[in-house]
Chain A
Amino acid sequence: MHHFNPEDKLVRAQEVLSTELDQETVLMSIDAGAYYGLGNTARCIWEKLATPITFSALVDELAQEYEVPHEACAADLQGFLAEMEREGLLRVE
């Protein structure tokens, strides 16, 4: 599994359609021919990925907003972002 470094710049992949449907966010991966529904936290992360952001900045912001320990947040994010990258939803610069 890909391990993200603190300086890695992350941004939404270009070939992903993001659609708001009745306050829910739906992602459609053009290349994979697949679609995903985002929960609240995932949606918050997706919002932050609209413009390039470093992994460490993302952890900082989320840890603060969700009032969770920094380390636990980073560990969860590693897994989640790796999954997003595998599905072609995320680009690492």
Chain B
Amino acid sequence: MSNNAYSVYGLRVHAEIACPELPFHPQPDGNPDVTIRLLPTLPSTSESDESGCYEVRPGVFRLVVKGVGRYLVEEGSRISIEPLAGSSTDEVRLFLLGSVIGALLYQRGLFPLHGSAVETTWGAMIFVGAQGIGKSTLAAQFYRRGYRLLSDDVCAVTTTDGKLQVLPAQAHFRLCADAYERLAPAQAARFNVDKFVVPMDEGYCPDAVPLKAIHVLADQEDGDPQFEVIRGFDRVQRLFENLYRPQYLKGQETQSDLMRLAGRIVQRTPMVTVSRKRDTEKIDGMIDFLESAWAEHFGSNPREENK
């Protein structure tokens, strides 16, 4: 089976399954950090085949999705997939690029947040919040305004030389149907019921970017958007609430590293709540609002000064 070489979260991934959502690795040769293999059957296990059933042990993660596949992630470097009868490759990939990659991030000690990240002149801005709160829609609007995206859906934070960084992830973003209709180029592919994948190219940032701030998106009934700094213990709570698949944390070999990383994030990173009335017509105004809030809180935009 041929191997496709991809680059995601700074990792070289060799996959036996084609993943159009992932950017190709610029240097396809070389030793992979992660291999993704398709197997006719996974080594037998004691777990039941109930859908959504998962198991976390040090260095081992298993997931069974009924009618789709059985997944095994080992030592942060090997992903094995047994597609089940009747499954489509789209379905197999949906869980591979979601839960399974999420478990891989845990195994590698990378802190996974459920949200989108955008590269700005201040640094990487992360947007988290409840399911359907508009994270991808906002990211898509940043993309339209010429910003490069670091990730959609799952952000990975790590430390490099003591500095917190956001790693570049998937070169695609997932949108709700209404946002999709406003933004979508013709090549967008239908992925599942209400999310669409819009392939990205130059709108994608391939490098790790220092983490600047974490934004928790919230709805409000009416009035002007609010940009409120989160203080104290709430910072820890908001961070853990927005962890991607938080149930995968316990039992990981890297749990202690991840807790320390969480400590660093809450100590060093500004966290804010951004409340607004959701309105796809006015989403462009949200970008202006955020740009001026950032200038106010983090200093004027270097890009503006150079004009």
**Residues of A that sit less than 8 Å from B by CB:** 15, 17, 19, 21-24, 26, 28-31, 33, 35, 37
> Per a CB cutoff under 8 Å, which of B231, B232, B236 touches A28?
B236
Closest chain B residue to A20, Cβ basis: B267
Enumerate chain A residues within 8 angstroms of B260, measured Cβ to Cβ.
17, 30
Enumerate chain A residues within 8 angstroms of B232, measured Cβ to Cβ.
21-24, 26, 37
Report whether A35 and B236 are in contact in the complex, using a CB–CB cutoff of 8 Å: yes
Report whether B233 and A17 are in contact in the complex, using a CB–CB cutoff of 8 Å: no
B 102-125 binary contact with A (CB < 8 Å = 1; else 0):
000000000000000000000000
Report whether A30 and B255 are in contact in the complex, using a CB–CB cutoff of 8 Å: yes
Enumerate chain B residues within 8 angstroms of A15, measured Cβ to Cβ.
256
The residue in B240, B262, B263 that gathers the most chain A C-beta atoms within 10 A of its C-beta is: B263
Known contacts A28-B263, A30-B259, A33-B258; 12 additional CB pairs below 8 A are A19-B263, A19-B266, A21-B233, A21-B235, A22-B232, A24-B232, A26-B233, A26-B236, A28-B262, A29-B259, A33-B255, A35-B240
Taking the complex as formed, is B250 at the interface, i.e. its CB lies under 8 A from any CB of chain A?
A: yes
Q: In the complex, what distance in Å separates the CA atom of A33 from the CA atom of B267?
A: 17
Q: In the complex, what distance in Å separates the CA atom of A33 from the CA atom of B250?
A: 6
Enumerate chain B residues within 8 angstroms of A35, measured Cβ to Cβ.
236-237, 240, 262
Enumerate chain A residues within 8 angstroms of B233, measured Cβ to Cβ.
21, 24, 26, 37
B 247-275 binary contact with A (CB < 8 Å = 1; else 0):
00110000110111011001100000000
A21-B231 contact, Cβ under 8 Å, with A28-B236, A33-B249: yes
A-B CB contacts (within 8 Å), total count? 48
Enumerate chain A residues within 8 angstroms of B236, measured Cβ to Cβ.
19, 21, 26, 28, 35, 37
Enumerate chain B residues within 8 angstroms of A23, measured Cβ to Cβ.
232
Give the interface size class of chain B: 10 to 19
7 contacts between A and B (CB under 8 A): A17-B259, A17-B260, A22-B232, A23-B232, A28-B236, A33-B250, A37-B233
Closest chain A residue to B267, Cβ basis: A19
Enumerate chain A residues within 8 angstroms of B256, measured Cβ to Cβ.
15, 30-31
Q: In the complex, what distance in Å separates the CA atom of A24 from the CA atom of B258?
A: 21
For the complex formed, measure the closest distance between the CB of A26 and the CB atoms of chain B, giving whole angstroms: 5
For the complex formed, measure the closest distance between the CB of A43 and the CB atoms of chain B, giving whole angstroms: 11
Report whether A21 and B267 are in contact in the complex, using a CB–CB cutoff of 8 Å: yes
For the complex formed, measure the closest distance between the CB of A34 and the CB atoms of chain B, giving whole angstroms: 9
Q: In the complex, what distance in Å separates the CA atom of A21 from the CA atom of B264?
A: 11
Q: In the complex, what distance in Å separates the CA atom of A28 from the CA atom of B260?
A: 8
Q: In the complex, what distance in Å separates the CA atom of A26 from the CA atom of B263?
A: 9
For the complex formed, measure the closest distance between the CB of A32 and the CB atoms of chain B, giving whole angstroms: 8
Q: In the complex, what distance in Å separates the CA atom of A30 from the CA atom of B249?
A: 11
For the complex formed, measure the closest distance between the CB of A66 and the CB atoms of chain B, giving whole angstroms: 22
Closest chain A residue to B262, Cβ basis: A28
Enumerate chain B residues within 8 angstroms of A33, measured Cβ to Cβ.
249-250, 255, 258-259
B 220-242 binary contact with A (CB < 8 Å = 1; else 0):
00000000000111011100100
Q: In the complex, what distance in Å separates the CA atom of A19 from the CA atom of B263?
A: 7
Q: In the complex, what distance in Å separates the CA atom of A84 from the CA atom of B54?
A: 30
Q: In the complex, what distance in Å separates the CA atom of A35 from the CA atom of B262?
A: 10
Enumerate chain A residues within 8 angstroms of B240, measured Cβ to Cβ.
35
For the complex formed, measure the closest distance between the CB of A29 and the CB atoms of chain B, giving whole angstroms: 7
For the complex formed, measure the closest distance between the CB of A20 and the CB atoms of chain B, giving whole angstroms: 8
Closest chain A residue to B263, Cβ basis: A17
Q: In the complex, what distance in Å separates the CA atom of A15 from the CA atom of B250?
A: 15
Closest chain B residue to A25, Cβ basis: B233
Closest chain A residue to B229, Cβ basis: A22
Q: In the complex, what distance in Å separates the CA atom of A37 from the CA atom of B235?
A: 11
Q: In the complex, what distance in Å separates the CA atom of A35 from the CA atom of B241?
A: 12
Q: In the complex, what distance in Å separates the CA atom of A37 from the CA atom of B240?
A: 13
